[in-house]
Structure 1
């Protein structure tokens, strides 16, 4: 077992470091819209929530402002944006320091209205003004009359947050908790936006003018195209000969709303075998598709079919059948390393090879 640990650590370092480094210099814009008299509060709150999240800059990187706030006013409302980039954290600039700094600023401020929105603009736009959420839109057929009372649904605080952040959320929510809003104009039909978090525990309602609503292409946790695995594999043939090797693969994954998911597999490993009485070391390419079934939120079993291409002197392609089980972490807590797994694969060649793998999964 000890012989597996060191190669596994080295493998994780080789895969994680280059892909994490690729985040360096990533730029995006934070856009905030609110009534002019409350824009400073919502600018600070949007920065605070951006710093607490990890969808724009993950792992050891965090967002840092490249410019000052640039605002355009139309009388009552202000639309402001600010450029950010992902930089490597250090002793003086890290999430804990920045979150505490912004939280202290928020405690000294009070909003005069609860109507605001915040959007991160990248190739995919990401909404952050309430909770990580999937937009669900419903058209309100009746126009809202001027000064009509509007009930604001109070959001639930998820128990997974630390006590310190729970207290901060409660304090900021009390400042914003207005039971009636008199400043909304009803010049046209409005859209009621219902946002529900991925874990299903937080629901927020918001009303916006239909013509001002932007369609957001939100990042979906369910689809992970940048997913990879590294594993130590034990290969055995029908003569009970065994060898150990390292397997690396690209494994894009998609999880449906129910307990099912699917995963692709494109990888390879080196094998040493006797080909026509001559010992050869060659690359084996492995392609497969798997179905995943989750038992609860974390444990899963999988099974699938594929094909192996042997790049030996004689060549050959052979069908494969595999199954396995694993444990998937909450990526919001563990960040890059998202799962552990073991799998068994049977190869349909003359030597009846079998492969037993144990490894880790990485998602970016």
Structure 2
């Protein structure tokens, strides 16, 4: 009976929107790659900002939306990855591209002892614990006189200009060195965003993704069916730290200057990221994409209003949590049934003739 059913049915995650999404993503990626050819420098810088914030939002969403780990200390990995990159370039004389990878590895190494500490905490205590760790890291690096102490420092003159690909881009597109550096950083951000979304999507569609959802929904029930909650959450925490560290290092290669207050800024690297995920839709891959676009538009429209801008963002976040708890994308998906990155498994009838006995 079981075999008969399995011959006629299959488990599928495809929806009516997913096939269209593939074509749409190809178009967006191609347009993104070609953007520096026709877009001015200001637009490239804005796209770089959008892509890096998207990566940070996807990482936080992976923690909070899929693992149930609400962290308010992700700035620890942004800042630590950035400082590790600065140390590799300024003190060791390494290439900035290599140093970006070092920043990611440094953040990963930092996450190992911090995970041991914060995983002993639950709920609000976990969130507070992550913030405390971020503050400890910030205060510690503020004492590092070789990298400017509390006032910060800049990358050595010419460090970013000599990155691989910068001179080639400058010659091909007939732009100056600083603009060529922005273009290379933008392409790296585009690659990082695509890789991050692809990795998270593949993870959530795997057996490990099922285990992650089970741990988030009911820890004891997940343990009873053979899922190790500690290992599952630790894996996600370490991966998110690594990607966040890479992103922080890349951001500060483009900025070329760092200080403890900027690198460990709670509003810039945690509050805004949480806002993006909440308004877009927590627990969905599409949510941070929608959220970062809305955030960018609001930032440009309201940035001149000072503190009123922050008040409006807070009010908007509260309204969405009250009237659309699943965010703007969740509201749209509920009414349309469209999912661009479907992960929910559904039974679907086989359409091949062999499964229906057509070849008999």
Please classify the TM superposition score into its range, dividing by the shorter chain length: under 0.3
Bigger strand fraction: 1
Bigger helix fraction: 2
Normalization by structure 1: what TM-score?
0.19
Which of these two proteins has the greater Rg computed from alpha carbons? 1
Normalization by structure 2: what TM-score?
0.19
